[in-house]
Structure 1
Amino acid sequence: MSKAPLKGVITASITPFADDLSVDVGRLAAHTTRLLDNGCAYVSTFGTTGEGASLSTAEKLASLRALRAAGADMSRQIPAVMTPTLDDAARTLVGIAELGCRAALVLPPFYYGTSEAGIAGWFDALIERTRAATDIDLLLYNIPQLSRIRFTRTLVEALVGKHGARIAGIKDSTGDVDNGVMLSSTFKTLAIFTGDDRVLPTLLANGGAGMIGGMPNVFARDLRALYDTPDNADLLAKQTQRILAVDAGGSLVALKAALAQILGDENYARPLPPLTPLVGEGRTKLMASFAQSGFDVAA
């Protein structure tokens, strides 16, 4: 298994769906190839932007196997594990490792909202249950606004103290620059990523590894440029405007709508229920905002 450095711009990829709401692996393979060609270090499938919480373990593993069969470089994949079910999490983790993926991004169990000791116990059980099958690197997914679980300093210390190098990094999707800086300054052996473009320059200046987020789905080249030149204030201002437009359009459905518009392929716009696609005036406003930010929406 590849142990290439965990750093750079990592896209939390959207998931295209066919008419029957199955994963459209052909379009997903084409999209992930495009992202890597445009400067991304890795692609993270089936996370929040990839609607991973709406897909079964079987669907995700079958799609990853199909990606490999289609020729995808699995060493540049960091799929997400998004389930409160220990058995599903273990099966997903082992499957990800068997496919040769670089690492796994693991969401904590999100239903019961238990104590830090309980969350640590769940990770203990996950690692113990899969120990014989894999030692794949784990990235902790800190998105408390959805999971209701925050990876605090004490919780991360407990996990790193017990599991050492198995805990390779953290994706901090809080959007809180101070939290990202705290994590990078405290856990110097971990790869700390932000989920927010606006935090990226400050995080990099304080030892951070990069970003794992949805915006590179559309703006991969610009975000790679921001990673390479984090003092580019003009580019940061453009990304800030774009984030606000995407958030106003419904986040991941806005990114899917933008891809559909740019690629001339409406299949990219289709989300899984209960999400609904961004169409009409909402999409028009989104694309107009992108154009105002200097992005060629006809590219």
Structure 2
Amino acid sequence: MTGEEFQNRLNAAFVFEGANYGRVHLIHGTQDAYSQEVLQFSGHLALSDAFKAVFLEAVELMNTYCRPRVKAPLSEHYPQFLARLANAFHTLCGAECAAIRGYPRPAFTTLRNVFDDVVLVSASLQKVTDFYKIEGIDPNGKFDPAAAKKARKDEEFKVRKLMTGSDSGLSADVTSELSKLNDLFDFEVHGGRLSLTDAMAFMKGTGPLHVLPKFVPQTFAVFMNRFTEVGWAVHRLVPAIQPPGVSMPKEWADRWTLVDESFEIAVRSLSNELGMKVGDAYAEFIKVKFPFNAGAVFPL
């Protein structure tokens, strides 16, 4: 069977109302409608785009402004940091795209991966661990996949205690709220329990089971709040792309600071406007465990 024959057989089998895969157009239509509903969260969209803009400007300036001024070789850890930072940015953008198109629960699970990784990155920049240890690698030894997997898990557990847990030095109120966020991620990552709550009415026989995207403001707000929290952590790491002795222009630093202040306002609004402890608790966590500002440079 040729590739063309393979495709034509499928095309012929799924003509609906005169269109190939016509029923699939229902998905596209509901995704478009969902995206229109999301526009009501204009403050979130503005903050998200400001974060992306300052990140992309940093990349541009790194290539055009900073690199020509670098006179000494950078640490072997520098490219490892950049790769992880870029991956965090890509993943955040991908998660938001999925959420805006009608899939906030799957997008929510993606945020968990970004959060866990940027905590490790921040710990590495502060020499709590290093970029080899969080991969379970001994750069001077022979690579053993099984040993590396165990070493990586052990290191992640140790770092988690030092960054968010019992050995973090954070107040009990803060670690309690961070634990609740962790549990919330677990509910969806392991078993899709948040998604199943969306189908509760159907399971009780009192409502439909929605197969196509359906906009529910509260569901999108849960994603939006977690995106803001994780996005703030990523934003705090961005200045560390500055090589020692080579800082970005002041105009970029001012814009970075504006976005940083805006993230804090948005995160603390959960406490200031809704009376939820998590907002102030998360802000304290960021201040202590992501202690980077616009003037930070790569420390390793």
Q: Which band: TM-score by shorter chain?
A: under 0.3
Higher helix share: 2
- Report which structure shows greater RCO (CA 8 Å, sep ≥6): 2
Q: Which of these two proteins has the greater Rg computed from alpha carbons?
A: 2
Using the size of structure 1 for normalisation, the TM-score is 0.25
Higher strand share: 1
